[in-house]
Amino acid sequence: MSRAVARDLRRRYGRDFRVVRADSGQDALEALREIKLRGDTVAAMLADYRMPQMDGIAFLEQAMDLFPHARRALLTAYADTDAAIQAINVVDVDHYLLKPWDPPEEKLYPVVDALVETWRAVGDRPVEETKVIGHRWSAPTYEVRDFLARNSVPYRWYSVDEPEGCRLLEAAGAGPEDIPILITPDGKVLRSPTGAEIASVVGLSTEPAAEFYDLIVIGGGPAGLGAAVYGASEGLRTVLVERQATGGQAGQSSRIENYLGFPDGVSGSQLTERARRQARKFGAEILTARDVVGLEARGSARVITFSDGSEIAAHAVVLASGVAYRSLEASGCGDLTGRGVYYGSASTEAQACGGEDVYIVGGANSAGQAAVFFSRHARSVTLVVRGASLEQSMSHYLIEQLRAIENVHVRVGTSVVEAHGDDHLEAITLCERESGKTETVPCGHLFVFIGAAPYTDWLGESILRDEHGFVRTGPDLLAEGRRPAGWSLDRDPLYLESSVPGVFVAGDVRSQSVKRVASAVGEGAMAVTLVHRYLEER
């Protein structure tokens, strides 16, 4: 780190912290090892990208092994901004600073203040570990593990077929019939827990702090998170309600490579976690594992009803409930879901795929991203595509990637017609569409990405939808120039407004929307702008 940065840091933080400077990455690592041996802690690490012997990213990657809870920042020149993006992806750097950083009061100190504030909030506390005991081929066990993983809750998995799993099961006073078992860090035991029960014991918020808000966002995918960030940042008291885990389908993506600002790609979970932190930073509440079953207008209020009968209300609502993968209509698949047949990328199964032959059904980007991801673990990955080619539904960059991976194979014009297995998936039957020829192949892991159905069955008749269940908005509501029946305002519906004034729609659930992460985030932000226009009318 340069002498000038060290000087500025000592001037501001020297009274409360010891500022250690090193001339190279190796010297810095030696200093960190000495600090570790003395039992001291490190609040923040600032690394210059252009250092002797190793670059700043390599240094931070090794330094994280010594002090994983220290906050991280990278100093870069304008020409090294690609390195900054790499740092975000590789070492999850908290900030990067462009040189020169003068004046430090504007460009350096606010960043370091944020690093120190975050470190003080988290400190060097060890990660509290949640334990899950179950069976590898138990669908409820998979659901618990998937819920924890998608909500970024650290946990350790134990199989009942292993000695330690049996010991934990005995200590919990439970039997195989009780699995899955979840044990919290403080020793509380949950038998076959629901998502809401898990959320309540692992620190996820499930109860609203108020009965009335400025804005309720339903759905925690990219559109919902975008609406929550922009709503809260613009002063609206905002609550986001998600029934499973924030991120939606995008949150399950192993790698998103065409999202603006991430030339090296970013995982869906990383993007989701940053968006979630950003929403909370601005004051948005995030409720997890709460299922919304009703939405209605009561005067000027828009009221949502939860599955337990409780309600909250707001001046306006952004509906961003997203879509769900369609079920694979093949004999046997229903019984084997969660036991070898999975919807989405199911990253919790990656290690179990080592040395296995994996099959992925689907020909769009999500299927291609999953194929790239599982190719690093499995012996082979086969994409089963019903269409005549990948070009019909997959981005060009992803097709080129797949062609370059030796253990990825593509079978076009082919469908899965049957899944075989007793307690878990063992084989699948493939059928070629043109010839009708069938072939049964061994398969222990089948991942399904075959289009999506909107999550709108719970909406009442007042919210107009198209023939596929997607919500109509704006100009799409004007039949022959007439406003929808029951429309109460003396103006046409705004662009993202539904047939109920004050209820806006963003992302995949909207009729004729573009099914991309960037467009979903954009619609979430745009919806908040329209919410402001709506509120100004009242």
> pLDDT tens digits, residue range 392-410?
889 999 999 999 999 999 9
Query: Which range (55-69, 160-174, 225-239, 409-423) has the least confidence?
Result: 55-69
Highest mean pLDDT among 86-100, 167-181, 225-239, 265-279: 225-239
Higher pLDDT, 81 or 264: 264
| Domain span holding position 149 | 130-201
The closest alpha carbon to 412, from 362, 377, 474, 471, belongs to 362
Same domain, 191 and 218: no
Answer yes or no: is 474 within a domain: yes
Q: Mean per-residue pLDDT for 5-26? A: 89
pLDDT at 129 over 80: no
Answer yes or no: is 184 within a domain: yes
Last residue of a domain, one of 418, 450, 482: 450
The closest alpha carbon to 182, from 150, 152, 143, belongs to 143
Q: What's the confidence (pLDDT) of residue 405?
A: 94
- Mean pLDDT taken over the chain: 88
Query: Quick one: pLDDT band at residue 231, thresholds 50, 70, 90?
Result: very high
Same domain, 311 and 460: yes
Answer yes or no: is 253 within a domain: yes
Answer yes or no: is 206 within a domain: no
Q: What's the confidence (pLDDT) of residue 90?
A: 55
> pLDDT tens digits, residue range 258-295?
888 877 677 777 788 889 989 999 999 999 999 999 99
Answer yes or no: is 144 within a domain: yes
pLDDT at 22 over 50: yes
pLDDT at 81 over 60: no
pLDDT at 76 over 80: no
Give the whole-angstrom CA distance, residue 519 versus residue 527: 12
pLDDT at 12 over 50: yes
Q: Mean per-residue pLDDT for 115-142? A: 81
Higher pLDDT, 319 or 12: 319
Same domain, 418 and 477: no
SS3 2: coil
Give the whole-angstrom CA distance, residue 448 versus residue 475: 34
> pLDDT tens digits, residue range 339-394?
999 988 777 787 788 889 999 999 988 899 999 989 988 999 999 999 999 998 89
Within a 13 Å sphere around the CA of 481, how many CA atoms are in the beta-carbon half? 0
Beta strands in 407-529 (DSSP E): 408-412, 414-420, 427-432, 438-442, 445-448, 452-454, 503-505
Last residue of a domain, one of 161, 179, 201: 201
pLDDT at 100 over 50: yes
- Would you tell me how many other CB atoms lie within 10 Å of the CB of residue 461? 8
Q: What's the confidence (pLDDT) of residue 1?
A: 47
Adjacent-strand bridge partners of 304: 295, 312
Same domain, 424 and 512: no
Q: What's the confidence (pLDDT) of residue 126?
A: 53
In percent, the amount of the chain with pLDDT more than 90 equals 54
pLDDT at 253 over 80: no
Same domain, 366 and 422: yes
- Would you tell me how many other CB atoms lie within 10 Å of the CB of residue 309? 8
pLDDT at 229 over 70: yes
Q: Are 325 and 409 in contact (CB under 8 A)?
A: no
Q: Is the peptide bond before 176 cis (omega within 30 degrees of 0)?
A: no
Give the whole-angstrom CA distance, residue 361 versus residue 372: 14
Distances in whole angstroms, Cα of residue 117 to Cα of each of 19, 41, 152, 389: 16, 15, 21, 52
Q: What's the confidence (pLDDT) of residue 228?
A: 98
Could you tell me the CATH number of the domain that includes residue 151?
Answer: 3.40.30.10
Same domain, 13 and 112: yes
Q: Mean per-residue pLDDT for 505-511? A: 95
Last residue of a domain, one of 64, 90, 122: 122
Same domain, 337 and 315: no
Answer yes or no: is 207 within a domain: no
Phi (first) and psi of residue 367, to 5 degrees? -70, -40
Same domain, 118 and 154: no
Instruction: Classify residue 55 by its DSSP letter.
Output: -
DSSP code string of 236-301: --EEEEESS-TTHHHHT-S-B-SSTT-TT-B-HHHHHHHHHHHHHHTT-EEEES--EEEEEEETTE
What is the distance between the terminal CA atoms of the chain, rounded to a whole angstrom?
A: 55
Answer yes or no: is 464 within a domain: yes
Give the whole-angstrom CA distance, residue 452 versus residue 454: 7
In percent, the amount of the chain with pLDDT more than 70 equals 94
Answer yes or no: is 298 within a domain: yes
Q: What's the confidence (pLDDT) of residue 382?
A: 97
pLDDT at 123 over 60: yes
Query: Quick one: pLDDT band at residue 82, thresholds 50, 70, 90?
Result: low
Query: Quick one: pLDDT band at residue 48, thresholds 50, 70, 90?
Result: confident
Same domain, 240 and 338: no
DSSP code string of 155-167: EEEEETTSHHHHH
Q: Hunting for tokens 């079920």 — which residue is that?
A: 327
The count of structural domains within the chain is 4
pLDDT at 3 over 70: yes
Could you tell me the CATH number of the domain that includes residue 350?
Answer: 3.50.50.60
For strand 95-98 and strand 71-76, is the pairing parallel, antiparallel, or unpaired?
Answer: parallel
Same domain, 44 and 187: no
Higher pLDDT, 266 or 214: 214
pLDDT at 255 over 60: yes
Q: For the chain, what percentages of helix, strand and coil (3-state, to nearest 5) are there?
A: 35, 25, 40
Same domain, 63 and 112: yes
pLDDT at 62 over 60: yes
Could you tell me the CATH number of the domain that includes residue 116?
Answer: 3.40.50.2300
Same domain, 346 and 306: no
SS3 421: coil
